Amino acid sequence: MVKCNPNYGKLAAGYLFPEIGRRVKAFTTGNPGVKVMRLGVGDTTQPLEPSIVKAMHAAVDGLSREDTYSGYGDEQGNAALRAAIAAWYGERGVTVEGGEVFVSDGAKCDSANIASIFASDSVVAVQDPAYPVYVDSNVIAGRTASFKDGRYEGLVYLPCTEENGFVPSPPSGKVDLIYLCSPNNPTGAVATREQLAEFVEYARANGAVIIFDAAYSFFITDSSLPRSIYEIPGAAECAIELSSFSKFAGFTGVRLGWSVVPKALKGDGCGDGGLNALWNRRQCTMFNGASNVAQAGGLAALSPEGREECGKTIEYYMENARVIREGLSSLGFKAYGGVNAPFAWVKTPGVGSWEFFDKLLNECRVVCTPGAGFGPCGEGFVRFSAFGRRENVQAAVASIRENLKL
Amino acid sequence: MVKCNPNYGKLAAGYLFPEIGRRVKAFTTGNPGVKVMRLGVGDTTQPLEPSIVKAMHAAVDGLSREDTYSGYGDEQGNAALRAAIAAWYGERGVTVEGGEVFVSDGAKCDSANIASIFASDSVVAVQDPAYPVYVDSNVIAGRTASFKDGRYEGLVYLPCTEENGFVPSPPSGKVDLIYLCSPNNPTGAVATREQLAEFVEYARANGAVIIFDAAYSFFITDSSLPRSIYEIPGAAECAIELSSFSKFAGFTGVRLGWSVVPKALKGDGCGDGGLNALWNRRQCTMFNGASNVAQAGGLAALSPEGREECGKTIEYYMENARVIREGLSSLGFKAYGGVNAPFAWVKTPGVGSWEFFDKLLNECRVVCTPGAGFGPCGEGFVRFSAFGRRENVQAAVASIRENLKL
């Protein structure tokens, strides 16, 4: 019989969000007609902006006519979109060329695939808690040993705790790859310029590469906080950045993201083209470009009109974040994040995070995300997502106020 | 310095199509204003069908309104589309459940990713010539040794020659994975029921898994030829099928495909859920679903109206295939395929396939695809794609007739 990839057997449990889905389904099946308020999965709820809708309709119309139909696009994304993304970096004072931008069908895929250009024995560091895809993709790739006492052996965990404000220091030992996410999913913490500079310094000193997930950077309003790791001098020589249209433009279902792999980024054994050429080869071989309709929408999202429209929706979500953060704080919870990030990270009152998840679901009909699902240091916390309809968010906070039995 | 995945260094050359792109670009740069006729890349040229366009517009409109907006879909694809694909198999007399269908952003990605659920020391067999993604993805995954005398050591090649009608017999030794493509890219050969049954018998006897690429099955008009490997009894216990909306519905740029992983398909070390559960876990962890707008279009393509419309476009392309096949035959070339497949496979007149590619480009301004780019047994052949505008195809054949110096 054919042998399966044995690394799948190491995965500790079902992927977090399907597990939440199963529990919610069990609740709704057992309580027919009861409405559940979902603040769990960070899924957008506000409609696409008018300028984006217009561009997507135009793209579909273009495909409907002989003279404007187009088939395969470049695997790396269409040149105008790559240039627009590069220009967005230019506004931050950062030089990124279009040829360093790779358009994809979303940051989840890029997060999962990016490590495949590195050696299989690379030592990987992740923030704890972290987006599960960073961990699981490396487990599947065989970069860890077995799961033991809540952690994968062979993986370096960087604890994010109340004490360090949920932003860790660089590893004490030598690692090859470091996944950093800022604004952070799940904690909502945002790394300062100084904190990122420490990581850049570490990476350059140790020949490590930072995989910087900036999918939530559009939610930063404090102008002193970096929105791209390339705002830190030297980062182009040690960092890959991933980003997404999912959250800032409502593309969770439309699917569009990008990675930046600077040409200055070198690696042992990848030749003169460096990691940029290697990722280009990976994408050309194993990917066929993002949907042309999605790319047309993405280009509109980055236009001045699109950005203004998206900015209002971001404000809407951030007001939700305020409602959650302040509402829970007023009930005596310790609530973190939710200021320059669309997630609030809330300390559970003396119970485990899955237990608190079940309490909130059963007593209050509110779905959150158990912090333990993001790593052992997430135990004792739950994540609330600010993506949602205002009335739903307000009703959820009110229901917690009225129904939670503490 | 960080170590790169050393397997990239084994890849013999740039991915075939970018190499063709480079040569064509060099020609057009050197010959400004000269129009090139492209019969190389199998890229669709006919506009999307009206019912598909209507469905995609409706999907975009749905995303523009609060009450109909949707975010993340299921990683496996939306249930209605999975059911419609399953129903398509039902019409062939084959039982496939919706839960066995995984919607993706295209068969290229599925082709490249599917092997990742198998052990890294799996022995892989490919047809020679073959779609380069099957080979390159396994090279990158480390399942081969180095490239030597035109072949990767460790890979089992199944020669497709004039003698066997370009459909090989099963391997003589034991392998774990067999990539089969029928209708074949690049040769245009279609395996008969009996030929596929031999592979199914081999796979069941040897505990191997067939990865059956059926991306061109909609081009089969001869009803005696199988359009799915599941038409062969026992195939559900030994075969994964990949397919695509790219060619039959013009989705090369829209991006939509699917894989079928039967629940009856078991593997060593993947537990009771079998390979279906393993691929489900892979997709949930590393993929976030195909674009919702593309999926809406795909559902329309499978509707009775959509199928009728797509059927006419398929006829259009197949008339192109006839023009190419008969045109080249009348010039004395040996032309294969192009009957139940959108590719003609043409024997080059005593020159190598890249040499003939260059001759056709420089003398006739026609772009084909060198057979050698698909594997050593492709040497001495070139592939012509039937995707194109009729007038372009006719002009290409006329130009070959007038300008080729033999």
> Is A196 in the same domain as A333?
no
pLDDT at B141 over 90: yes
Beta-carbon separation of A71 and B44 below 8 A:
yes
In this structure, is residue B2 part of a structural domain?
A: no
End position of a domain, from candidates B262, B288, B303: B303
- Answer yes or no: is the ipTM higher than 0.95: yes
Same domain, B222 and B317: no
- Identify whether B287 is part of a domain: yes
Out of B9, B72, B105, name the one closest to residue A105 (CB): B105
Q: What is the pLDDT of residue B262?
A: 98
CATH number at residue B370: 3.90.1150.10
Average pLDDT over every residue of B10-19: 78
Q: Which of A36-40, A171-175, B105-109, B263-267 has the lowest mean pLDDT?
A: A36-40
Average pLDDT for chain B: 96
Token pair 């990605």 is found at: B109
Residues A156 and A57 in one domain: yes
B27 and B83 in one domain? no
Nearest to A64 among B47, B118, B268 (CB): B47
Are B286 and A70 inside 8 Å of each other by CB?
Answer: no
Q: What average pLDDT does the segment B288-310 reach? A: 98
* B280 and B346 together in one domain: no
First to last CA, chain A: 53
Contacts of A50 in chain B (CB under 8 A): 64
Q: Hey, what are B378's tokens?
A: 């492709």
Nearest to B384 by CA among B322, B300, B291, B297: B322
In this structure, are B251 and B173 located in the same domain?
yes
- B266 vs B257: CA distance, rounded Å: 23
- Chain A residues in contact with B136 by the CB 8 A cut-off are 285
* Chain A residues inside the 8 Å CB shell of B207: 1-2
Query: Given this model, what pLDDT does residue A271 score?
Result: 86
Nearest by Cα to B348 from B330, B325, B332: B332
Burial B226-255 (b: 16+ CB within 10 A, else e): bbbbbbbeebbebbbbbbbbbbbbbbbbbb
Q: What is the pLDDT of residue A14?
A: 63
Distance CA(B84)–CA(B98), nearest Å, equals: 8
Query: What is the pLDDT at residue A15?
Result: 65
Q: Chain B contacts of A2, Cβ < 8 Å? A: 118-119, 122, 176-177, 207-209, 267-268
* pLDDT on residue B15: 65
Closest residue in A to B66 (Cα–Cα) = A47
Chain A residues inside the 8 Å CB shell of B271: 9
Q: Taking CB atoms and an 8 Å limit, are A15 and B284 in contact across chains? A: yes
Give pLDDT, residue A220: 98
- Domain for residue B178, yes or no? yes
Kindly state the tokens that stand for A118.
């590195």
Query: Residues of chain A whose pLDDT is less than 70?
Result: 13-15
State the DSSP code for A137: H
Angle between helices B304-330 and B292-301 (to 10 degrees): 80
B293 to chain A: nearest residue by CA?
A254
How many Cβ atoms sit within 10 Å of the Cβ of residue B366? Answer: 27
Say if B166 falls within a structural domain: yes
pLDDT at B12: 83
For the beta carbon of residue B271, count every other beta carbon within 10 angstroms: 12
CB-based contact A109 B286, cutoff 8 Å: yes
| Same domain assignment for residues A42 and A179 | no
Q: Are residues A152 and A17 in the same domain?
A: no
- Domain of A130, CATH number, reads 3.40.640.10
What residues of chain A lie within 8 A of the CB of B14, using their CB?
281
| Residue B317 reports pLDDT greater than 90 | yes
Q: How far is A71 from chain B (nearest CA, A)?
A: 5
Nearest to A128 by CA among A180, A175, A174: A180
Q: Is residue B95 part of a domain?
A: yes
Cβ neighbours of B25 (radius 10 Å): 11
pLDDT of residue B236: 98
CA distance A266 to A279: 12
CA-CA-CA-CA torsion sign (A160, A163, A169, A173): negative
Which pLDDT does position A58 carry in this prediction? 98
For B139, the domain range is 53-303
> Cα(B128)–Cα(B119) distance, rounded to whole angstroms?
23
Residue A333: per-residue pLDDT: 97
Q: Is residue A18 part of a domain?
A: yes
Is A371 in the same domain as A288?
no
Q: Kindly identify which residue of chain B lies nearest to residue A210, measuring between CA atoms.
A: B2
Considering the domain architecture, whether residues B175 and B279 belong to the same structural domain is answered as yes
Out of B286, B303, B320, pick the residue that ends a domain.
Answer: B303
Q: Average pLDDT of B371-392?
A: 96
Q: Which of A2, A72, A281 sits opposite B252 (nearest CB)?
A: A72
pLDDT, position B251: 98
Q: Give dist(CA B314, CA B320) in Å, integer.
A: 10
Whether B295 and B188 share a structural domain: yes
A287 phi and psi angles, rounded to 5 deg: -140, 155
Calculate the alpha carbon distances from A228 to A106, A186, A190, A236, B64 in Å: 17, 18, 11, 11, 29
Closest of B340, B336, B339, B331 to residue B360, by C-alpha? B331
Cβ contact B69–A45 (<8 Å)? yes
Is residue B322 included in any domain, yes or no?
yes
Boundary-marking domain end, from A244, A274, A303: A303
Nearest by CB to A270, from B4, B50, B284: name it: B4
**Residue A1, in any domain of the structure:** no
pLDDT at site A17 = 79
Nearest CA in chain B to A117: B5
User: A113 and A39 in one domain?
Assistant: no
Do the beta carbons of residue A265 and residue A209 sit within 8 Å? yes
Non-local (6+) Cβ contacts of A289 within 8 A are: A72, A73, A74, A75, A76, A77, A103, B253, B255
Count how many domains chain B has: 2
Query: B46-82: per-residue pLDDT in tens?
Result: 999 999 999 999 999 999 999 999 999 999 999 999 9
